[in-house]
A and B are shown apart, each in its own frame.
Chain A
């Protein structure tokens, strides 16, 4: 059974940093790209970032480019999101999501339950 478990969320002041983690199990982690998707309270889904199976290809939404860094450790079956210079508008539930396509880029067939990030003074 595929499982994605996010952690690392919490309350943080504007301008500070936070690192999210996603522990994956139930599939061959290093065969698939992975993504972060967020959802502000009461709002829609926003794709944040994605990373290919071998970290060779990385993409970011314009809203986080230059502030957030995605990474993965295939030996630990883990995905990360380093978030710097946080703003109030980064407040959201952050989901870790598995890419459906082997080696390629595709939609998200499995999602975690999310970790809540609240940016407030």
Chain B
């Protein structure tokens, strides 16, 4: 099983700032099959990024993903009030998908 470790656990920033979230895998993620999701309280997760760097339909371009192998990053260029939420990475390159434990992005 591929273990994904996200950091930091909590990130405190202000609207307008840049957010950088990290996801590290215990072994190489096949073909960059790495996705990022956003989850707000009481809601189902929403797919943001797939294939490490491709934005899902309807996702604003302030969200970007990068990385390969074992190290991946989600960047939000300028935080909007609606971006404060929990973010999860997920690998889907093996027969057992796995999620990271999440990063909570909170308003400073």
The residues of A with any CB-CB pair to B shorter than 8 Å are 35, 37, 44-47, 50, 57, 59-62, 95, 100, 105-109, 111-114
How many chain B residues touch A (CB < 8 A): the figure is 24
Note all chain B residues with C-beta closer than 8 A to A47: 90, 96-99
CA distance A45 to B95 in the complex (A): 17
Interface of A, helix, strand, loop or mixed by DSSP? strand
Interface of B, helix, strand, loop or mixed by DSSP? loop
Decide if B96 touches A45 in the complex (CB within 8 Å). no
CA distance A95 to B45 in the complex (A): 10
Decide if B44 touches A45 in the complex (CB within 8 Å). no
Decide if B92 touches A44 in the complex (CB within 8 Å). no
B56 at the interface (CB under 8 A from A): yes
Pick 8 A–B contacts, CB within 8 A, sort by A. A35-B97, A45-B102, A47-B98, A47-B99, A57-B95, A59-B97, A62-B96, A106-B92
Note all chain B residues with C-beta closer than 8 A to A57: 95
Decide if B44 touches A111 in the complex (CB within 8 Å). yes
Query: With A45-B102, A106-B50 given, can you name 6 additional A-B contacts, CB distance below 8 Å?
Result: A50-B97, A106-B92, A107-B90, A107-B92, A108-B37, A111-B46
The residues of B with any CB-CB pair to A shorter than 8 Å are 1, 33, 35, 37, 39, 44-47, 50, 56-57, 86, 88, 90, 92, 95-102
Known contacts A105-B92, A107-B35; is A100 also within 8 Å of B47 by CB?
yes
List the 3 closest pairs (A to B, CB-CB), nearest first.
Answer: A107-B35, A111-B44, A47-B97
Note all chain B residues with C-beta closer than 8 A to A112: 44
CA distance A44 to B37 in the complex (A): 12
- What's the minimum C-beta distance from A57 to chain B, rounded to whole angstroms? 8
- What's the minimum C-beta distance from A36 to chain B, rounded to whole angstroms? 11
CA distance A111 to B46 in the complex (A): 8
Decide if A44 touches B99 in the complex (CB within 8 Å). yes
CA distance A61 to B2 in the complex (A): 11
Note all chain B residues with C-beta closer than 8 A to A62: 1, 96
